[in-house]
Chain A
Amino acid sequence: MTQSSEPMEWYKTRFDLSEKSLNGGAASAFHALRRKGMERFSALGFPTTRHEEWRYTNLAPLSRMNFDPAPAANSGEMTKTEISRYMFDGLHTLVFVNGRFDSSLSDQSLAQKGVTARSLASMIDAQPLLVSERLGRVASFDQNAFTALNTAFVEDGAYIEVDDGRSVDGPVHLLFISTANNPSLISPRVVVRVGKHARLAIVESYASSASLPCWTNGVTEILAEEGATIDHLKIQTESKSAFHISSTQVLQKAGSVGTFTSVVLGGAIVRNTVGVVLDAEGCRGTLNGLALATGTQLIDNHTSIDHAKAHCESHELYKSILDGNAHGVFNGKIFVRKDAQKTDAKQTNRTLLLSDDATIDTKPQLEIFADDVKCTHGAAVGQLDEDQIFYLRTRGIDRAAARDLLTVAFANEVVGRISIAAVRNRMEELVREQLRLGRQN
């Protein structure tokens, strides 16, 4: 963990080195995209708390460290048994170790007609032009330094395409595990297109077996075509020393239905961005989120729902449970554009503070340019209700168990909405486990 006075210089140098190792490949169309990403990252630089979007999230601990953007390929230390605890029954799983696809740990490739679910690296090899066309189409790096950085160092990730009218048999699970024993920058990219009237359920989960600081800088981009249904769930359970910055960008077409859920339990500093553009009439977008933090964790959820066209609906529920000295941030933007008449948007943000030292910065941000719309928002910050605790105690439940019961109930408003039963049950268990561990600290 050498300190660098100029963090930008470090990544620039690493980029140049990686470029040299590509030899002839450096001239490819795909690599041109990486180069643009690097240029943009160099121009934008690491955001500081002087940037409005980063006011409450100080990235100094991250920018101070030099992360290696090309971690060693999987040295084979993960076994099927070791990863079994991160798997869910009935899901088709692709496993990525330190950002790279590992076919030996993954399920056999999905053999469903009209459905592609494979590693991005293999897709870059097979169809570089198609990938360079699709990648960055929904997640623009123009104003986002970390999307630019992800693009600069993108090697692998997942490429999922569901043809028009197809419905994927069972959910697809993308499992990202970091095991690196040096501070590494992992840049996974997930590119999803759900065709017209097609259906897809996808779970992205991030875990780490290493306790060393590791930085995941992920980007997911989802294009939901006309009438498509997409259910996207992201689970973050990395170690308490991990840095995690991720952006999920979505473009919804006419009549599409999208549900985007985020559950964050791990990480030292986590910035989770979800941006959904309802780009045509009759779309429905639902955003659910839960952050559970203790110790000195910082979990920052930034969401944006852009009602670009008329007759769309959005529902958002984001909750945080903060214990110890944890710090939560919520920023929820809702844009209702001039053309977006008859918009129905509802945003709710609730925070439960379990200790006197935990803090939350919450900011609903509605910008409405149409006049015939229904938009509501509410933000509430509170503690556990003493009347409820007393009621439980008069029935024989002790104070600690009563606190847990009420806290789990608070979390379940989000967890209970997870549509995949195996994942929902596991998340309930993980929430309980984390509360138990939090109390022991």
Chain B
Amino acid sequence: MLEIKNLHAAIGGNEILKGVDLAVDAGEVHAIMGPNGSGKSTLAQVLAGREGYEVTGGSVRYEGKDLFDLDPEERAREGLFLAFQYPVEIPGVSNTYFLKAALNAVRKHRSLEELDAVEFLQLVRQKMKLVDMDESFLSRSVNEGFSGGEKKRNEIFHMAVLEPRLAILDETDSGLDIDALRIVADGVNKLRRKDNATIVVTHYQRLLNYIVPDRVHVLIDGRIVRSGGKELALELEEKGYDWLESPKQIRVEA
């Protein structure tokens, strides 16, 4: 589904990603872990198509297409979804209005009929249950005045409505208390299917107790320095990131 090869990316001339390789297949959950400043969020933003990040080398193929040929909205319509680390507040635009516009843009792209107001409401009512949101969320402006936990739940709610093929969750656990974390993780788990995939970007192992990954990758200084099964996350929790530090040191030790 997703194939990243030797990806290099810079922001303001400063190279952040220094050759990332990653392959994700349908039905899989991958976790990308790493210390602060290692490039985790940059990778998520580059995949979503954020302007200001310059791809300086390598390639990303998504569902057989060159990802960088697609605008951010085209990527979204093709089923790529980014749950933001810091969801953006949009005063004056109701959650319902926004989601209906988004869903119908996606459906149109997939040659499906656009939903009318009644059909849409039925759909969102059903999806809201996944993240335990009440109906007052629908009429409120997108993320405006939401608590940290409400914002993250809203991201997963968007994901539930848009049904992406590949979802990237960028630090979705940050700022969540244990109850909110459980709700968010439950939502993500219920959305898992054989034909979709999830990349969980996180600093802490905590979230991975609830969303169990098939593969865990450690990103340090813009490169994936180690990959393994879910037990790698536990090892990181125990030992921290220091023992992996930079690839150079590993080579010296070896």
Note all chain A residues with C-beta closer than 8 A to B103: 396
Note all chain B residues with C-beta closer than 8 A to A406: 90, 93
Q: Verify if A82 is at the interface (C-beta below 8 Å from B).
A: no
Bound Cα distance A378, B84 (Å): 31
Q: Verify if A394 is at the interface (C-beta below 8 Å from B).
A: yes
Note all chain A residues with C-beta closer than 8 A to B49: 393-394
Bound Cα distance A211, B49 (Å): 45
Interface of B is mostly: helix
Is the pair A395, B162 in contact by a Cβ cutoff of 8 Å? yes
Q: How far is the CB of A395 from chain B (nearest CB, A)?
A: 4
Q: Verify if A405 is at the interface (C-beta below 8 Å from B).
A: yes
Is the pair B76, A395 in contact by a Cβ cutoff of 8 Å? yes
Note all chain A residues with C-beta closer than 8 A to B72: 390, 393-394
Is the pair B88, A387 in contact by a Cβ cutoff of 8 Å? yes
Note all chain B residues with C-beta closer than 8 A to A393: 49, 71-73, 76
The residue from A390, A396, A413 contacting B50, defined by CB atoms under 8 A apart: A390
Q: How far is the CB of B47 from chain A (nearest CB, A)?
A: 10
Note all chain A residues with C-beta closer than 8 A to B125: none
Residues 41-73 of chain A, each 1 if its beta carbon lies under 8 Å from chain B, else 0: 000000000000000000000000000000000
Note all chain B residues with C-beta closer than 8 A to A409: 90-93, 141
Bound Cα distance A397, B106 (Å): 8
Interface size on B, residues (CB 8 A): 31
Q: Verify if A392 is at the interface (C-beta below 8 Å from B).
A: yes
Residues 38-72 of chain B, each 1 if its beta carbon lies under 8 Å from chain A, else 0: 00000000001111000000000000000000011
The residue from B84, B101, B109, B141 contacting A391, defined by CB atoms under 8 A apart: B84
Some 5 contacts from A to B, beta carbons below 8 A apart, are A394-B82, A396-B105, A396-B109, A406-B93, A409-B90
Residues 293-305 of chain A, each 1 if its beta carbon lies under 8 Å from chain B, else 0: 0000000000000
Q: Verify if B35 is at the interface (C-beta below 8 Å from A).
A: no
Bound Cα distance A398, B48 (Å): 14
Q: How far is the CB of A126 from chain B (nearest CB, A)?
A: 48
Closest Cβ neighbor of B91 among chain A residues:
A409
Note all chain B residues with C-beta closer than 8 A to A394: 48-49, 72-73, 75-76, 81-82, 84
Is the pair B92, A391 in contact by a Cβ cutoff of 8 Å? no
The residue from A387, A390, A396, A408 contacting B102, defined by CB atoms under 8 A apart: A396
Bound Cα distance A352, B105 (Å): 26
Q: Verify if A401 is at the interface (C-beta below 8 Å from B).
A: yes
Note all chain B residues with C-beta closer than 8 A to A401: 101, 105
Q: How far is the CB of A411 from chain B (nearest CB, A)?
A: 8
Is the pair B92, A396 in contact by a Cβ cutoff of 8 Å? no
Bound Cα distance A416, B92 (Å): 9
Known A391-B84, A394-B82, A397-B105: A413·B92 in contact at CB below 8 Å: yes
Nearest 7 interchain pairs by C-beta: A409-B92, A395-B102, A396-B76, A391-B88, A393-B72, A396-B105, A396-B106
Q: Verify if A363 is at the interface (C-beta below 8 Å from B).
A: no
Interface of A is mostly: helix
Interface size on A, residues (CB 8 A): 23
Bound Cα distance A388, B116 (Å): 25
Is the pair B81, A386 in contact by a Cβ cutoff of 8 Å? no
Is the pair A405, B105 in contact by a Cβ cutoff of 8 Å? no
Q: Verify if A273 is at the interface (C-beta below 8 Å from B).
A: no
Note all chain B residues with C-beta closer than 8 A to A408: 92
Is the pair B92, A398 in contact by a Cβ cutoff of 8 Å? no
Is the pair B81, A390 in contact by a Cβ cutoff of 8 Å? no
Bound Cα distance A406, B48 (Å): 20
Q: Verify if A410 is at the interface (C-beta below 8 Å from B).
A: yes
Bound Cα distance A64, B76 (Å): 55
Bound Cα distance A175, B76 (Å): 46
| 12 additional contacts (CB under 8 A) given A395-B105, A396-B103, A406-B93 | A385-B88, A386-B51, A388-B90, A391-B90, A394-B48, A395-B76, A396-B106, A397-B98, A397-B105, A408-B92, A409-B92, A413-B92
Note all chain A residues with C-beta closer than 8 A to B81: 394
Q: Verify if A237 is at the interface (C-beta below 8 Å from B).
A: no
Bound Cα distance A392, B90 (Å): 9
Q: How far is the CB of A304 from chain B (nearest CB, A)?
A: 28
Note all chain A residues with C-beta closer than 8 A to B84: 391, 394
Q: Verify if B158 is at the interface (C-beta below 8 Å from A).
A: yes
Note all chain B residues with C-beta closer than 8 A to A388: 88, 90
Q: How far is the CB of B50 from chain A (nearest CB, A)?
A: 6
Note all chain B residues with C-beta closer than 8 A to A374: none
A327-372 contacts to B (CB < 8 Å): none
Bound Cα distance A375, B93 (Å): 30
Bound Cα distance A203, B92 (Å): 25
Bound Cα distance A416, B139 (Å): 14
Q: How far is the CB of A344 from chain B (nearest CB, A)?
A: 24
Known A394-B49, A394-B76: A405·B93 in contact at CB below 8 Å: yes
Note all chain B residues with C-beta closer than 8 A to A385: 88
A249-285 contacts to B (CB < 8 Å): none
Q: How far is the CB of A403 from chain B (nearest CB, A)?
A: 12
Note all chain B residues with C-beta closer than 8 A to A395: 76, 98-99, 102, 105, 158, 162
Bound Cα distance A40, B103 (Å): 62
B191-239 contacts to A (CB < 8 Å): none
Closest Cβ neighbor of A385 among chain B residues:
B88
Q: Verify if B87 is at the interface (C-beta below 8 Å from A).
A: yes
Closest Cβ neighbor of B143 among chain A residues:
A391
Q: Verify if A412 is at the interface (C-beta below 8 Å from B).
A: yes
Q: Verify if B77 is at the interface (C-beta below 8 Å from A).
A: yes
Bound Cα distance A346, B117 (Å): 38
Among A395, A398, A406, max chain B CB count under 10 A is at: A395
Q: Verify if A399 is at the interface (C-beta below 8 Å from B).
A: yes
Closest Cβ neighbor of A395 among chain B residues:
B102
Is the pair A391, B73 in contact by a Cβ cutoff of 8 Å? no
Bound Cα distance A413, B90 (Å): 12
